[in-house]
Amino acid sequence: MQQKEECIICQAPLVYLQQDEAMECAICHKKENSKIRCENGHYVCSECHMKGVDRIVGVCLHESSKNPIAIMEKLMDLDFCHMHGPEHHIMVGSALLTAYKNAGGDLNLPAALSEMQSRGKSVPGGACGFWGACGAGISAGMFVSIATGSTPLAKEAWGLSNQMSACALQKIGETGGPRCCKRDSYLAITAAVQFAKEHLGVEMEQQKIVCRRSAQNNQCITYRCPFSPLNNISTKG
């Protein structure tokens, strides 16, 4: 069976190790410890895997939509975005910050997007399985943290940021694995839209989500995914 998208070097399936091993990036040749490589031994560092993510800022600054899913779809269509990868840890929060600002949120968007880049890049690939906290869910928490100006010494904003992460991770965890960066991003964003309406007083736009990338995912959970096309087939004659 031909693999659809795994290793970005040779398309072979990825291998997730329980402990770090010394590896060399197949692209930039940087040496570091990691738990992720493909069956053929290729390792790609996060920096190389996310090459091009700086373009997110420019895309979002020219976006007028109040719908974070619509914005996320545009980002997912860009060539730097793979089926799975840590780029989603930046994209989720960026789409939310942009839609939040366009929906009336009080926000310095250029500064917020720059901060989202910095924070999102610090969450490694595989956090969903190795940390027990999906990077898409964490990114939603970062969105609230940035939007509210939270710091470790904040009171209400600190609580809201952690509640947002918890809400997103709850939705992601209830759906179950294996991971899908597209599914988990959708779940995190839909949780954040409701959270922002209830706790921040900003109502972003929503839409029905039907995944159009399931064929690219070797581990697609099909009927268990709320966004699967198989669950959204029209019954009209």
**CA–CA gap between residue 207 and residue 99 (Å, rounded):** 13
Q: Please tell me the distance from the alpha carbon of residue 92 to that of residue 89, in angstroms, as a whole number.
A: 6
- Are the C-beta atoms of residues 190 and 204 closer than 8 Å to each other? no
pLDDT tens, residue by residue, 142-157: 999 999 999 999 999 9
Query: Is the pLDDT confidence value at 2 over 50?
Result: no
- Separation CA 132–CA 42 (nearest Å): 25
Confidence of residue 235 (pLDDT cuts 50, 70, 90): very low
Instruction: For residue 211, give both structure tokens.
Output: 């995944």
Rounded Cα distance between 160 and 130, Å, is 25
From 100-104, 146-150, 211-215, the region with the lowest mean pLDDT: 211-215
Residue 102 backbone phi and psi in degrees, to 5? -70, -25
143 close to 199: Cβ distance less than 8 angstroms: no
Closest-CA residue to 221 (of 175, 169, 188, 173)? 175
pLDDT digits (tens, 9 = 90+) for 8-60: 899 898 999 999 999 999 999 999 999 999 999 999 998 999 999 999 999 99
What is the chain's length?
237
Q: Which residue type occupies 45?
A: C
pLDDT at 206 over 50: yes
Domain boundaries, the chain: 1-49, 51-216
DSSP state of 6: S
